[in-house]
Amino acid sequence: MSVLRAGNTTLEDGKVRICVPIAYETENEILEESVRIGKSSVADIAEWRIDWYQDVFQPRKRNALAKKIRKNLQGKPLLVTFRSRREGGERDITPTAYQALLDEIIESNSIESNVVDLLDVELSQGMACVQELIKHAHQMGIGVIVSQHDFKKTPEASNLITTMEQMAGYGADVCKIAVMPQSLADVAALLLATGTMKENHPETLLITMSMGRTGCVSRLCGGLFGSVMSFGSMGKASAPGQVSAKELSDVLWAIERAVE
């Protein structure tokens, strides 16, 4: 069974962890949310969406804030994500600037004593960028989630599987796919791809979801098909169809009890 240690928890098959996003512009809002997450009994992981942060390109402010977030989380892992606008994020960024930013974050981990546990790397930034960032992150003890987001459609299941295999081939610790359904059949395609990928590559950790109202069910039952994380909000949602962390926890608990 695949296991990835992150902070005081693990990502592993058969257990869905709840990740709560921190998607705010100002330091005060970000710190308030990190305090809530740290005290929460249902949040397992925090995702800091730094593309929202107003001073994201100022390393001193960003690194100082990361240390404060880390303290507020009380040992819960911190996932850092810069989501580019083309994948649903708040800012445009060139591949060169994207890699430079994530390299700075990785380097700060050695200076700031393991502030970051997990790093999101977009597959669309290109093979060279992805592989170099994975290598650098692993050198600094950071796990890497390689992600791809499609806010317009859901590719065929076979294409989704090929994409996840590509991510795994690059060295991703976790392969993440998020797609937008146009029908219930699209949601089924996402779940089929997840289950098939898990059967064919049991050593690979997966995070998959179908977004929006139609795809909401995938956030609740994805663990049955092999997804190890689901995103739930406590404040501002970071993606369409994201449910509250408390409601998500209740449903996941009921599903776990039912399949025991």
Tokens 């098909």 — which residue? 225
Q: How many CA atoms lie within 13 A of 81 on its CB side?
A: 30
Q: Which of 15, 67, 136, 176 is catalytic?
A: 176
List 149, 152, 198, 236, catalytic entry: 149
> Burial, 96: exposed, middle or buried (Cβ in 10 Å; 0-12, 13-18, 19+)?
exposed
Q: Where are the alpha helices (DSSP H) in the chain?
A: 27-39, 59-72, 95-112, 127-139, 157-170, 184-200, 212-221, 245-259
Amino acid residing at 185: A
Residues 6+ apart with CB under 8 A from 249: 18, 42, 232
Q: Is 176 a catalytic residue?
A: yes
Contact in structure between 52 and 82 (CB atoms under 8 Å): no
Could you confirm whether 61 is annotated as catalytic?
A: no
Distance CA 52, CA 22 (A): 9
Nearest-angstrom CA–CA distance, 225 and 206 = 10
Which of 42, 108, 113, 114 lies closest to 78 in space, CA to CA?
114
Q: Which residues are catalytic?
A: 149, 176
